[in-house]
Amino acid sequence: MRHFLVRAGRGVTVTWQILGMTLLTFALVECGYRAVAAAQARSRGVTQRSYTPGDPQERLPWHAPYVAEFDAVRAQQWQPYVYWRRKPDFRGRYVNVDSAARRVTPQPRVPATPAARVFLFGGSTMWGTGQRDSATIAAEVARRLQPLAGVGARIEVTNFGENGWVSTQGMIALQLALRAGARPDVVLFYDGINDVAATVQWGQAGVSQNEFKREREFAFGRAMDHEVSTRSALDDLRALPLLAGEVLHQSAFIGWVKSLAPRRQPAFIAADSAADRTVAVYAETARMVEALGARYGFTPVFVWQPTPQSTGKVLTKFESRLLVDGDKDAYWRRLHEVHALVPARWRDAMAGVAPGRAVDASTVFRGDSMAVFTDRTGHTTESAVPAIVDAFWPVLARVTRERLRAPRS
C-alpha cells in the first residue's frame, strides 16, 4: 500500500506539473498574441474600436474625445424584460447618461411642468451613436418642438433609445414607463435596422438581436447555480467542461486559429420570407402600441429608418467600400437583400395600422451625395440628422399640435 501511495503521489505531481506548464504556456501564447495584435492595430492607426476607420467625422476636432467618452459608456447592465441597458449616471463633455440610464437630451428645464411630453424609442441610431448629445435625433426634435409650446411653455423630450434594441424591446420599455406612471402625449418609434438584423440572424422575426447569446448565458448560469436544491457533486463536475469552454471561447489566439480553417457559409432565411416576417411582426407590435395609445392617451408615430442598403443615395467612396466589403459576407448580403425589400411592404402594412402616422424615411437621402453613413450598420453623421428629422417632422409636428390642443385627462 505504501509503495502504491508513493507512486500515485508521484503520478499526481507529474500530472499537476504537466497541466500547470500547459496552462502557463497557453497563457503566455495568449498574452503574446494579444500584444502583437494590439501593436499591429496601432500601426494601422486603429486605436479605438468604436468607429470604422475612414468615418467621415474622424477628422473633426470633437471626434476623438467623443469616442473616448463613448468607449467609457459602452458598458451595459442587465435590465429586466428588455435584457440590457447602459449603466446610469455618466457625465462627459459630449456624452451624458442620466440616472435612469437614458441618453441626456439638451432642452429647457423651466417651467417645471411641460405642456407636452414626447417619448422617442429606437436602437443605437436613436440613442445617438457617433453623435454628441447636442446633435442626436432627440436633440434635433427637442429644438424644433419648443416653438410649438408657445411663450412661457416647453415640450419635454425623452430619449429611450438603446443600442441594439428591436421594436419589441422599445414597446416593452414603453409599457414599463407607463406602468411606472409616465404619461406621454406623443410616442415615436424609429426602427428598421435592428429588426431586420434579428430576423436574419435568428431565421425568424420577433426576437432580439444575438438571442443565441441569451441562450448560452442562461445555460451557463443554470450550470453554475449553487442555489439549486437538487445540485450534486456530479453536477459540479459536469460544469467544469463549460468553464473550460468559456475560457477557450474568450481566447483571441484560439479565435485566430479557428479563423484559419475554411468556414462553411451558414444558410440564412430567404430574403422574401425575412422581409414578410419582419413586417408582419412590426405591424403587430405597432397595433399593440396603438392600443396602449388609446388607453393611456398618447399618439404614436412610426418611422422606418434609412440604411446604407436601401438609401438610394449617391454613395461616397467610403460608403461604397462599406457595401462592397459587406457583400463579401453571406450575412451582410442577405441583410442587403432584405433591406431593399422591406420599405414598400412596410408602407403597405402600416397604412392600415397607423394611417397618416407611419413615415418611410428609408429613401430620405435619395440622390444626395453628402456623407451620411459612418459604418455599414447604418449609423449616421451629425450633419445627416436634420434631413432625417425632416422626413418625419410634418407628421410629428401635426400630432404634437393636436395633443397640445386636446384637453388633458
What single string gives the DSSP state of each residue in 353-370?
TSTTSEEE-TTTTTT--S
Q: Which position has the grid cell 426602427?
A: 191
pLDDT of 198 strictly over 90: yes
Check residue 257 and give its pLDDT: 74
What whole-number percentage of the chain has pLDDT above 90? 65
- 63, 69 in Cβ contact below 8 A? no
Query: Alpha-carbon distance 249 to 175, whole Å?
Result: 36
CB of 312 closer than 8 Å to CB of 360: no
CA distances from 133 to 77, 91, 222, 392, 396 (A): 21, 11, 40, 20, 21
Compute the average pLDDT of residues 203-215: 89
Task: Write down the residue that cell numbers 413615415 correspond to.
Answer: 359
Mean pLDDT of all residues in the chain? 90
pLDDT category of residue 99 using cuts at 50, 70 and 90: very high
Run of H or E including 223: helix 211-224
Tell me: the pLDDT tens digits for 61-86? 999 999 999 999 998 899 999 999 99
- Please tell me the pTM assigned to this model: 0.88
pLDDT value of position 36: 79
Task: Provide the strand spans (E) within 274-322.
Answer: 299-304
Segment 38-45 shows an average pLDDT of: 67
DSSP single-letter state for residue 87: P
Cis ω before 111 (30° cut-off from 0): yes
Please give the pLDDT value at position 45.
55
**Domain at 63-203+269-405, CATH homologous superfamily:** SGNH hydrolase (3.40.50.1110)
Closest of 180, 125, 116 to residue 149, by C-alpha: 116
Average pLDDT in the 80-96 region?
95
Residue 96 is predicted with a pLDDT of 97
In the predicted model, what is the mean pLDDT of residues 328-352?
Answer: 95
Q: Examine the pLDDT at 47 and tell me if it is beyond 60.
A: no
pLDDT in tens, 15-35: 888 888 887 887 888 788 788
400 within 8 A of 118, measured Cβ to Cβ = yes
Residue percentage of the chain with pLDDT more than 70: 93
Instruction: Give the pLDDT confidence of 254-302 residue by residue, as tens digits.
Output: 777 777 766 666 678 999 999 999 999 999 999 999 999 999 999 999 9
> Average pLDDT in the 226-249 region?
70
Whole-angstrom Cα Rg for the chain = 25
**Secondary structure class of 127 (helix, strand, coil):** helix
